[in-house]
Amino acid sequence: MARRSLTLTIAADMIAAGTITAPTTAHAAPTPAAKPTSEGPHSPLNRKKAPLKIRTTKTATIREADLGDINLGPKTAPQRFRAPVRGTLITPRKPKAHAPLIVFGHLRMPDCANKALTYPCPKGVQEIRYDRGMVWLAEALAARGYSMLIPDLAPIYSPQDTEKPYDQRAAWLRTTEMLRAQMLSANAGKRSAWGTGLTGMIDGRDTTLMVHSRSAYMVNTTVNAWRKSPTPIKQILAYGAWQNTPSTDEPPVPFPADIPFLDIAGTADGDVDHAGSQWMTELIGQRRTAPAFHVEVTDYGHSYINRELSRRHLDDRDGVDNGPTAADHEKLLLAATRGWLDQTVRGKHVFPMKATEPLPNGLIGTPPATS
C-alpha cells in the first residue's frame, strides 16, 4: 500500500501527523564532483568594487551592489582569507511599495565555470553568480508586492567545512548584514550603495528567510541575531536543505520552535539526498509553538531551481527519465512560496496551521511522494 511521504509537526506538544519515509543514508556535506577546491576565498587587496547596476523589468527593479571586501582570516593574519560583499536587491516597480522582505540564501556549488570552488576564478574562467540565478523568483514575487535581498555567498562557501578555516555562519552574517544595512539606509531615504529611489520600498518587520542547500545551516544563527533587529525572521522556507542527520558527524539541530517553516525536498535530489526527511524524523517530537512541514515531491532534484545551473544543464539527478523540467522546478517553488507567504505574511488559509486540521493532499497542486 502506498504511503504518503508528507510530514507535519504542529503545535506545542504534537508528535506527528502523517507518515514519513526515512532512507538510511544522507550526504554530510553536499558538494558535486569538482575540480580544485581552495581552502578559502582570496579576494585581491587591490580589487576594485564593481559599479552599482540597476535594471528594470515589467514587475521589478533589480539592483546589484558591491560593498568591497571583508577579511575572514584569523586574528593573527586577518587578510589570509578575503571575500567580496556583493548581492542583488529586487523590489517592486511601485513607488513606496512597503514590500515585505524576503532574504534568500542560495546553495553551495562550484562558482567557476571549470567546476572549481574558489575565489577569484582562474584567469580566463567565467565566474558563476548564484544570487543572479534566483532573480527569476524575486521578479515573480515582486509582482505580488514582495522585495528580496540575495547575498552572493559563493566565495564564502568555497571551503567544504563550515567551521574551518573560518566560521561560515559568521561570514554569512557579516555579508548579509552589510548588505541589509545599506538596504535599510536606502529605505529610510539616506545615501546608500543601493542607490536612490528606495525610500519606503521595503517592510522588514515580517521578514521571510528562504534557504537552499547549505544556507539552511545558517538559519538559527540568523534568526537569533535578528530577533530584535529591524528585520526579524518570522517564517522560513527551505528547499533541498542541508541538515545534520544521524548519518552525519554532528547531531540534528532543530529550527527555532516559535517560527513556522516549510521544508521541500525532491526524491531525486542527488546532492543532499533525503537529509530533510531524516532530519525531521529525528526531531519529530520537538515541542513547538509554530507548525513545521516537510514535503517530498517525486523526481524533483536539487539544482534546477537556480537558473545559473539549469541554463548550463547541470542536473544533479540520476536515473530520472522524462522527469520534471527546469520550468517544472520553478513552477513548484514559485507556487509553494506564494502559498507559504499568503499563509504566513498575508494571513490567508493555505496550509493547516493547527494540529486538528487534516494534512493537505500535496504541495499547492503537486502530489507528495509515495512509497
Identity of the residue numbered 256: P
- DSSP string of 251-265? ---PPPTTS-EEEEE
Cα 168 to Cα 160: distance, rounded to the nearest angstrom: 10
Cα 133 to Cα 88: distance, rounded to the nearest angstrom: 10
- Percentage, residues of the chain above pLDDT 90: 75
Q: Is the pLDDT of residue 7 over 80?
A: no
Confidence of residue 266 (pLDDT cuts 50, 70, 90): very high
Cα 169 to Cα 126: distance, rounded to the nearest angstrom: 27
Q: Considering only 70-74, 75-79, 275-279, which range has the smallest mean pLDDT?
A: 275-279
pLDDT of residue 129: 98
> Within its chain, how far is the Cα of 216 from the centroid?
7
pLDDT of residue 343: 96
Q: Is the pLDDT of residue 81 over 60?
A: yes
Cα 212 to Cα 224: distance, rounded to the nearest angstrom: 19
Nearest alpha-carbon partner for 207 in 167, 240, 180, 234: 234
337, 210 Cβ separation under 8 angstroms: yes
106, 306 Cβ separation under 8 angstroms: yes
Cα 12 to Cα 14: distance, rounded to the nearest angstrom: 6
Instruction: Give 181-199 pLDDT, tens digit per residue.
Output: 999 999 999 999 999 999 9
**What is the value of pTM for the model shown?**
0.89
Q: Considering only 33-47, 147-161, 300-314, 353-367, which range has the smallest mean pLDDT?
A: 33-47
Q: Is the pLDDT of residue 23 over 60?
A: no
Q: Considering only 19-33, 70-84, 221-235, which range has the smallest mean pLDDT?
A: 19-33
Mean pLDDT value across residues 56-61:
96
Domain boundaries in the chain? 1-30+242-371, 37-226
Cα 118 to Cα 203: distance, rounded to the nearest angstrom: 35
pLDDT of residue 24: 31
Beta strands in 110-162 (DSSP E): 147-151
Ramachandran bin of 68, using left for φ above 0, alpha for ψ from -120 to 50, beta for the remaining angles: left
3-class SS of residue 194: coil
pLDDT of residue 274: 83
Confidence of residue 172 (pLDDT cuts 50, 70, 90): very high
Q: Is the pLDDT of residue 228 over 80?
A: yes
Mean pLDDT value across residues 138-156:
98
Mean pLDDT value across residues 237-243:
95
